[in-house]
A = this chain, B = another copy of it.
């Protein structure tokens, strides 16, 4: 008889897990995973970095590092964030084992069982898991094409009898919705949240993957706006700008929050891998990261455009989506009568896989969306796979009509 903790019972395996097992079938077209394309990794750059490391740098790479990160990476990341306009001097950086760990640590820092966390609906599944693992009471606010629904947020804040402990947001190229918040939404959000003692967790994993220079005005992060009277815990990641296999992310947070988070990290894994931190440091310091981004942005843009064009041409009436302006995802709204899991099963039989909407519903129910990732498939695969997705949708739509 094994007596598990009560927090474990609130965790559940997601559908994604089963989908991933399908990823091994050689011919399956994968619109499911939120990972960069294997063929786009900067392997030559990493080779050059590794082979230029000095013995001393290799020793640092093999050794424990400080909990908050190895000093060279802290320096180069600080420069990188400064260039993005972030208030590095007034805050502290904590290097984390992927940005999911940053979210998990912040959840641990703020959430007692039953505490309310506000999130967007839909929401990144990893963040939902992290909040659930600390037994948060997750309350969700709808997302509009311009960002979080500010009226709904204000109404929720006014209605709640217990104040929430945190507001979790992904304002730039949302996962799964692809949404880029309008600058106005960001400014109004700050006004709404100011002086409420509710920290905002701003998840910024995708902002480097913009497709249009003119969007930069909207891309400015809440953290870079550095508002008074509002604690913003900013998280970022090397997963989309170098490689998720390095498992490196960061948080940029006020010092008081940093101190608690560092203690929590000490109890989780002591420090993040020095080995990959050294590689990430050289990648930033050498400027390779800027060159690499210049190479991959148009490639992801081409994939997004290809997928969007096909969907516009082929999707039946009643389906809708907003063309992404960056990031990895297209979020298709289905007619309410359709269930995404039914469509997914049919699609898998046809040789294409994606993720159903309920995976990203914090309450695990709403299932009238599908998430298509274009990040991990060539243009040829997109051309091949989208008609199959559309066929699967049409198949179920016809069944409903009958």
Contact = CB atoms under 8 A, between A and B. Distances in A.
A219 B58 CA distance: 32
Contacts of A257: 2
Interface string A81-103: 00000000000000001101100
A55 interface: yes
A184 to B, nearest CB: 28
Given A260-B8, A267-B126, A271-B247, A2 B33 contact: no
Contacts of A62: 38, 41, 43, 46, 242-246
A226 interface: no
Given A59-B43, A246-B275, A264 B8 contact: yes
Contacts of A132: 267
A386 B263 CA distance: 32
A132 B8 CA distance: 17
B108 A8 contact: yes
Contact of A264 (B33, B35, B133): B133
Interface stretch (A109-117, A200-208, A312-320): A109-117
A348 interface: no
Contacts of A361: none
A257 B1 CA distance: 11
A109 B8 contact: yes
A4 B110 CA distance: 5
Contact of A245 (B64, B111, B129): B64
A242 B66 CA distance: 19
A130 B50 CA distance: 34
A346 interface: no
A249 B273 CA distance: 12
Interface string A16-59: 00001000000000000101101101010010001100010011
Interface in A124-138: 126, 129-130, 132-134
Contacts of A133: 108, 264, 267-268
Given A1-B197, A108-B133, 12 more contacts: A8-B263, A12-B263, A46-B58, A62-B242, A104-B268, A104-B269, A133-B268, A245-B274, A246-B275, A247-B269, A247-B274, A273-B273
Given A59-B43, A267-B133, A3 B110 contact: yes
A286 interface: no
A293 to B, nearest CB: 16
